[in-house]
Every structure is written in structure tokens, then in C-alpha cells.
Amino acid sequence: MSGAAGPVDPQAVRELRLPLGEADTRALKVGDQVCLTGPVTVTIGLPTHQRMADLLERGEALPLDLRGGAFLHLSSFNRETAAGHEALYLNPTTSTRYNEIMPAIIRRSGVRVLGGKGGLSAQCVEAMREAGCVYLSFLGGGCTLLSHAIRGVASVHWSEYISQFRLTTLVVERLAPAVVAIDAHGDSVYDSVAARARARLPEILQRLERARAGNP
């Protein structure tokens, strides 16, 4: 964020209360600032994603219902106490590592909200457009801010994995900051940034060439 940018207007942040319908996600546009309230399912495990995709492709049910829900690439460590599981933190990880697996999950699970950092591939974006699903970009290194939203642990599945790889559903209140980076119409901020970078590349190369020649 540049120094010229002002503070975020709380009135401009849209609260999304889960679960959501398709009309809710179709109404969102790239650049919208949002926060999430309700149950969100998190994991960063590659084997977890593959297991989910395999179940869905065989027509078998997941251990939890993602229809209308949020599935986020957020790391979370859950401590087991006498009162049950306690989530200690939330921190985003890079979503692109799951590119090959996500289209099956998007198309078959009924999920409405994805999130993490770094975006998803064109194949994932097309699946999201078909399914009516959005991708939220969470603040990299925003662990402290994101963790304030945790209100409890609703469920933990596949406990044979390490905590961060388990399929964990947390209850959150106003989980933020988050921005719609890919909307349900196929528009992506990552594509826009890449296009602008490609457009500027000839000018940058010319400047470098002039600098090498001593003509800045």
C-alpha cells in the first residue's frame, strides 16, 4: 500500500455471513473489500486436498459439507485441551501449489469462497466462473490480524495428519483483511497486474538499453 493511500473505510468493507448463495458471490467484484463471519474450513495440506478431490471424483461425501461455505488456504495450529480443540492462529499460504487439484474441489463441493495468497491458475478461474465461486486474497504475514477473528473450533477431521494439514472448521467473526482477487465472472486481479506488467515491459527494456549506452 502506498503512503498516499488513506485508511480503510469500515463502511466499504462488506461482511459476508456464511453460508452464501450463488447470487451472493455473483454480486461480488474484483477489488471488493470483505470480511467473513461464520464457519470457515482451513487446511494447507497437499495430501488433504488430494484426498478431498479423490472422494469427490468417486462421488463420495466429504466428512463435512462445503456447500455455500468457505475453504481457505490458511494454516492453523489447534491445541487439544480438556475442553476440546483450541485454534491458536491463522496464517495464509500460497494457493498456487494446489492448482492441479482445486478444479475438482471447486466443481464438485459447492464451495462459494476460496482464499489464500498468490491466486489460482486459469483452469481454477474457469471452474470458479462455472460454479459461482470467488477467491479472496488475505494479507501475507497477517497472522496477528487474522487470528483475532477466531471464535472457536467447530470440527476437526482427518486427525492422523499434523494439525496444519487437518481439515479444520473454525468459527470466525469478521475475518479480515481480505479482498476479492478473483470474482465469479472470471475476472482476476492477477491477470490485470500481469497484463499491465507486459504492457510496460518494452518501455522498461528501452530505458535499460539507454542506461547501458550512457543515455538515461
What integer is the mean pLDDT of 185-210?
65
Q: Domain map of the chain by residue range?
A: 12-188
pTM of the model: 0.85
- Other CB atoms within a 10 A radius of the CB of residue 120 amount to 24
| Structural domain 12-188, CATH architecture | Alpha-Beta Barrel (3.20)
CB 145 within 8 A of CB 177: yes
pLDDT, one tens digit per residue, over 69-101 is 999 999 999 898 888 899 999 999 999 999 999
CB 113 within 8 A of CB 134: yes
CB 104 within 8 A of CB 56: yes
